[in-house]
Structure 1
Amino acid sequence: MAIHALIKRHRERAEQPVVSGRELLAGLGPEAVEVRARYLQVGGHLAATLVVTGYPAEVHPGWLQPLLTYPGRLDVALHIEPIPTTVAAASLRKQRARLESGRRTGFDKGKLDDPDTEAAAADAAELAYRIARGEGKLFHVGLYLTIHAGDEESLAEQVASVRAIAESLLITTAPATFRALPGWIATLPFGIDTLKVRRTFDTAALAACFPFTSPDLPAADQTPSDSPVLYGVNAASSSLLLWDRFAQDNYNSITLARSGAGKSYLTKLELLRQLFTGTEALVIDPEDEYLRLAEQVGGTVIRLGAPGVRLNPFDLPEGAHNSRDVLTRRALFLHTFLTVLLGAELASSERAVLDAAILTTYERAGITGDPRTWNRPAPLLGDLAVVLREHGAQGIGLADRLAPYITGSHAGLFDGPTTTPPRGHLVVFSLRQLPAEVVTAAMLLALDAIWRQVADAKQRRRRLVVVDEAWLLMRHGDGARFLFRMAKAARKYWAGLAVVTQDADDVLSSELGRAIVANAATQILLRQAPQAIDQVASAFHLSRGEQEFLLTAERGSALLLAGRHKAAFYAVASPSEHQVVTTDPAELAATCETSTTSPDVDALDPYDDTPTPALQDVR
């Protein structure tokens, strides 16, 4: 039976007609190809090929997208051939020698420097060093465009349209004159480069040319949150830039910009939208730029420096009874706070006297290492001065230096019990009324009050801590160290630290500042001053094109950096949002002249199921 079945199957196969390969290919291809000087007639339509001969100096990911999304019939072929490392190194060596020889010859003849030669020499040197370090490779790349149309007139229009798009991308194209057939074959899916009009690309440039790259930021590697925030419109693709800082490795951010570039506007816009996602926010506001926002969303404003408003630096954190080193940590913070308050580093002997006096002050208030005593009223700064005077000459000296903050002109700012704890979905610490001499110390004290609330295990929720004008704190070593520790530990408590500053030097010139930048998964750069652009470019590894963007960026335009990914965008706000977050004096004056009514508060309330609470202004 088995042999009979095999014979029958063989007979059935023999009866089937056999189709030759020529006939099969004839059915797949066109019936005829007519070759002309500039185009082909392939069957019933025409095809013309453009060869890319010139490329822009710098490109961004997905820069070929306008050609790939061309509405007509356009075939884009990218031919890539790797160059062996040894061949690439030898070729770059010869190229650098030719360029350097040309430069020296022109210099000997008294000619001016040729910008194109100088730029080519710099690029060749950079490529040579990158290949030597193994950071990239070189490739021969050929880019060809074949346009299809039904007649000669339509073909001419389509070719002109494609060349216009290419010129807008700084691409130089040339028609494949008398090479129409090889040009058409080069764009067929055969992988055969019949034209061989190629340029040398490095790995980074080739990656940007890859057809599947995009100028938009990719989705986070982690499980994405359901509450991304709209940052603005992507400047390259015109798509919406949605970003969720709480879906990154850490929730911190750093915002650097020159004065007037719109950094506070962008920060307030994100803050307002974070409130709608249920995030609590706590803000250090040295210039009263967040008061109108707090007013519209029913936030709490604590005006440090106003009569009767104080924060006691001796307060112990709430809900810390499970920790044994609470008193020790509080003593260490008091060392930092008093060093910043006094404005000078303390000697080792003075620190020893101060440490003993702090512990003695707590003991006299009945607070010891026993957690059962931590609910008792905390001592005051004046109590510490009394104890210091019992510790010899150095203690008396420290007490005298604290006198202005206890009995002198600054009395009442820090010497007294805390009047109002920071509570609410938005808490703004206003420092505008404080003297300039104590702003940094008050900022540190407000940050400590915020941190005690963030670290409270009984009130664990998503929070955003905004430190505006952070340069005030970064210029002091102890203040910078406190901010660095907060940046390192914020993620453990489901909190993000947003550092906003206009002085890049205070952040990037110190190791602590650079460490704070390194611990920010979200980095936002707005317009930079020419004097600071080199330092910013070195710290954030910016290309020349990105540097030019930051030097000429309009107000509200920014560059978002997230690891290896970068995206340029400009902030957009609805009229209601703009009215709340703007602090432009001209706009505010015009608003006061034309209308005395405020924006629709209910429309801006992040809690839709309750009426908008009134502003709690602690004075």
Structure 2
Amino acid sequence: MRLPIPRSRESTDPAARAEEVTGPSALRIGATSVELPAGVCASFAVAGYPREVGAGWLEPLTTYPGRLDVALHVEPIPPLVAAQRLRRRLARLESSSRADADRGRLVDYAAEAAADDAADLAASLARGHGRLFRVGLYLTVHAADAEELESEVQRVRALAASLLLDAQPTTFRALQGWVTTLPLATDAVRSRRTFDTDALAASFPFTSPDLEPPRSDAPVLYGLNAHSSGVVLWDRFAADNYNSVTIARSGAGKSYFTKLEVLRLLYHGVEVAVIDPEDEYRRLAGAVGGTHIGLGTPGTCFNPFDIPSDQDEEALTRRALFVQTLVAAMLGEPVDPMARAALDRAVVAAYAERGITFDRRTWKRPAPLLADVTAQLDQAGSPEAAALAARLAPYVTGSYKGLFAGATTTRPDGHLIVFSLRDLPEETRATGMLLALDAIWRRVANPRDRRRRLVVVDEAWTLMRESEGARFLYRLAKSARKHWTGLAVVTQDAADLLGSDLGRAVISNAATQVLLRQAPQVADEIAEAFALTAGEKAFLLSADRGEGLLCAGASGGDRATFCAVASPFEHHLATTDPAELAETEGDPL
């Protein structure tokens, strides 16, 4: 049967015109299905229910991964009518039981169970502890075509059978079944069952695989829920602390997911700094107008003696102290006390020669270079100063001078700052990393500029190999929250985090934990560290690229499986697939 839907006369009202354009022209109604302009659907009425259920027992239907409309129609029964019906029901059951006993028949245990249930309901109703309701449960399965509909119907009926539900098709009432599951509050099928208050309350899905939405005005989209049709939204700045840890095997999509979060946090005004060992964030920085500093690249200089003008009165003193730490990293060993004293005098003299004193008004003048400090050491005349100047010569006039040859070429300012370490030689990697970490810490700990910030350490295992990098991670994990800053640690080597005190401190201070696909060799260790269930462990072992488990909250108890999603533009910025990059190389962003 084909049911035409009449259209109104053409109207000049834009809303009326939109309704005419988008409304379906006709429906094709069959014996068991309804053909819509965009697909086909079939409806079912639940005629049989289990005797006992638990809270949220309908959740498998409401979270079905396909398109399934679930309608629950509830109509309260007046207490007087309910009491009369219960009395008649009890009388029939009691009469049937006595008749069977008089004729010597076997006991009907189903009738006895029904009589006991009716007696309990009557007692609850008499005491005012509950009420009775007429309840109708209906399902409508949608698909693109008839062949797909048949397979979807089989899956839904199998799921209903596993819940001990008897789902009967609305044969020759397909239109009424479809209308009943629309949000119209109309039960055209009227296949009802009497529920009491407890049974009705248990029918609502109080438990769900969807993560509880954060109490925030600016949540970030992590992806689509892998087990439902919902979305996974989370705001790290609404949690107890703002730190996160992301662990996944190589190729599971951890850097891809991190770039998406960084991009979406930038939309909300969060300032982001990235330690990028493999130069994977260059395209992202270029697209959003961020600052990209390629340490170790030709022509890139980074002067450690720079004093930002927005720092407090102790900034010059802290610069002098940091230089001692930097020189120790250059030399690969601690500086002895005599050489440290000579270095301190040389640093102060180099600043003074440029006209920079403890007066903040002088800090806008050009800062000295490492060559100025070594010149002051040569002029000091002491053996310790001369020896220290000689050991620093490779960084001034030798093969390591590129990073310190001149004034800073790119200031570490902006809403996104990326420090790329890929081009740093192994001999100067510790030094360059220390410079990047110091620049980040100065922005984070600046009391004159409070704002939400995120520090991303990608491939954190490379940072943890260096003593200064490990100390930076530990300090930031412990104190980042006090500075309105979050630390995002991303690594593919779970052993580095789980097998050290530093790693355990990072995990224990991370209220947001993201686990993507794991290798079988570390699955047991990951499951024990994060208290994963057997199902969650199996999910992480078989997860596709971009699929993961979000463990959020103070104890990681709020969990949701998700699949990271991106728009074409976001994907263009986040992907590191060599095949895709080769195809799009040279394309404009």
Deviation at 1:352, TM superposition (A): 6.4
Gaps of 5+ in 2: 1-45, 64-68, 75-133, 139-152, 167-193
- The aligned residue for residue 488 of structure 1 is 478
CA distance in 2, matches of 1:330, 1:237: 53
Name the CA distance, whole Å, in 2 between partners of 1:226 and 1:296. Answer: 26
Q: State which of 330, 336, 342 in structure 2 corresponds to 1:350.
A: 336
1:429 correspondence with 2:405: no
**For the structure 1 residues 378 and 257, does the alpha-carbon distance in structure 2 shift closer, same or farther, using more than 3 Å as the test?**
same
Residue equivalent to 1:361: 347
Deviation at 1:561, TM superposition (A): 1.4
Question: How far off its partner does 1:553 sit?
Answer: 1.4
Equivalent residue, structure 1, for 2:293: 302
Q: Are 2:224 and 2:231, in contact at CA under 8 Å, matched by a contact in 1? A: yes
TM-aligned CA deviation for residue 369 of structure 1: 5.3
Deviations 1:23-49 (A, max 9, x none): xxxxxxxxxxxxxxxxxxxxxx96453
Distance 1:514 1:149, change over 3 A: closer
In structure 2, the CA distance between the partners of 1:459 and 1:66, relative to structure 1 (3 Å rule), is: same
1:585 aligns with 2:578: yes
2:569 matched residue in structure 1: 576
> Are the counterparts in 1 of residues 350 and 376 from structure 2 also a CA contact under 8 Å?
no
* Residue 548 of structure 2: aligned partner: 558
Conserved 8 A contact 1:474-1:480 = yes
Does 2:59 align with 1:65? yes
**TM-aligned CA deviation for residue 533 of structure 1:** 2.5
Alignment-derived partner of residue 511 in structure 2: 521
Equivalent in 329, 332, 340 of residue 318 of structure 2: 329
Q: Secondary structure at the match of 2:273?
A: strand
Q: Tell me if structure 2 keeps the 8 A contact 1:306–1:433.
A: yes
Q: Aligned residue for 1:216? A: 210
**Secondary structure at the counterpart of residue 281 of structure 1:** strand
The CA deviation string for residues 242-297 of structure 1, in whole angstroms up to 9 with x for no partner, is: 11222222222221211111111111111222222233322222212111222222
* 8 A contact 2:135–2:195 mirrored in 1: no
8 Å CA contact retained: 1:48, 1:148: no
Task: State how far apart, in whole Å, the 1-side matches of 2:137 and 2:440 are.
Answer: 67
Q: Superposition pairs for residues 249-398 of structure 1, below 5 Å?
A: 249-321=240-312, 323-324=313-314, 326-344=315-333, 346=334, 350=336, 353-354=339-340, 357-366=343-352, 371=360, 374-385=363-374
2:327 and 2:524 map into 1 onto residues whose CA distance is 36
Q: Hey, what does 1:95 align to over in structure 2?
A: none
CA apart distance, 1:370: 5.5
Aligned to 2:257, what secondary structure does the other structure show?
A: helix
Hey, what's the Cα distance between the residues in 2 that align with 1:307 and 1:573? Answer: 34
User: Secondary structure, in 3 states, of the residue corresponding to 1:443?
Assistant: helix
Q: Secondary structure at the match of 1:531?
A: helix
Give the corresponding residue for 2:238: 247
Looking at structure 1, the residues matched to 250 and 305 of structure 2 have their Cα atoms a distance apart, in angstroms, of: 36
SS in 2 for 1:524: strand
Q: 2:580 and 2:474 mapped to 1: Cα distance?
A: 37
Please point out which of 443, 455, 461 is paired with 1:465.
455
* Distance in 2 between residues matched to 1:538 and 1:48, nearest whole Å: 39
Q: Give the aligned residue type for 2:369.
A: L
Sort the Cα spacing of 1:149 and 1:540 in 2 relative to 1 into closer, same or farther, 3 A.
closer
TM-score (norm 1): 0.61
Give me the whole-angstrom Cα distance separating, in 2, the residues matched to 1:327 and 1:523.
38
Deviations 1:89-130 (A, max 9, x none): xxxxxxxxxxxxxxxxxxxxxxxxxxxxxxxxxxxxxxxxxx
Match of 1:499 in 2: 489
CA distance in 2, matches of 1:149, 1:498: 46
Secondary structure of the residue aligned to 1:422 is coil
SS in 2 for 1:413: helix
Q: Which of 449, 453, 475 is the equivalent residue of 2:439?
A: 449
3-state DSSP of counterpart to 1:270? helix
Partner deviation per Cα, 1:308-352 (whole Å, 9 max, x = no partner): 31112233343223x44x3443344344444444445x3xx7266
Aligned to 1:228: 219
Query: Secondary structure, in 3 states, of the residue corresponding to 2:456?
Result: strand
Contact 2:434 2:468 survives alignment (8 Å): no
Is contact 2:49–2:165 with CA below 8 Å preserved after alignment?
no
SS in 2 for 1:559: strand
Which stretches in structure 1 are left out of the alignment for 5+ residues?
A: 1-44, 56-60, 76-145, 151-158, 176-186, 193-207, 600-619
Root-mean-square deviation (Å): 3.9
How many pairs align?
Answer: 431
State the identity %: 57
8 Å contact 2:225–2:563 — kept in the other structure?
Answer: yes
Amino acid at match of 1:241: V
Determine helix, strand or coil for the equivalent of 1:49: coil
Contact residue 48 and residue 147 of structure 1 kept, 8 A: no
Structure 1 residues 218-263: Cα deviation after superposition (integer angstroms, max 9, x where no partner):
233xxx3322211101112231111122222222222121111111
- The two structures have a TM-score, normalised by structure 2, of 0.63
Cα deviation 1:128-155 (Å, max 9, x = unaligned): xxxxxxxxxxxxxxxxxx99899xxxxx
Q: Does the C-alpha gap of structure 1 residues 424 and 73 become closer, same or farther in structure 2, counting only changes over 3 Å? A: closer
Residues of 1 paired with 2:323 and 2:537: CA distance? Answer: 42
Residue 412 of structure 1 aligns to a residue whose secondary structure is: helix
Q: Is the 8 A contact 1:50 1:174 kept in 2?
A: no
Equivalent AA in structure 2 for residue 189 of structure 1 = D
Aligned partners of 1:464 and 1:497 also within 8 Å? yes
* Distance apart, 1:65 and its partner CA: 0.8
Find the aligned partners of 1:211 and 1:73 in 2 and give their Cα distance: 12
CA contact 1:340–1:479 (8 Å) conserved in 2: no
3-state SS, counterpart of residue 520 of structure 2:
coil
> Structure 1 pair 452/216, CA: closer, same or farther in 2 (3 Å)?
same
8 Å CA contact 2:309–2:360 kept in 1: the answer is no
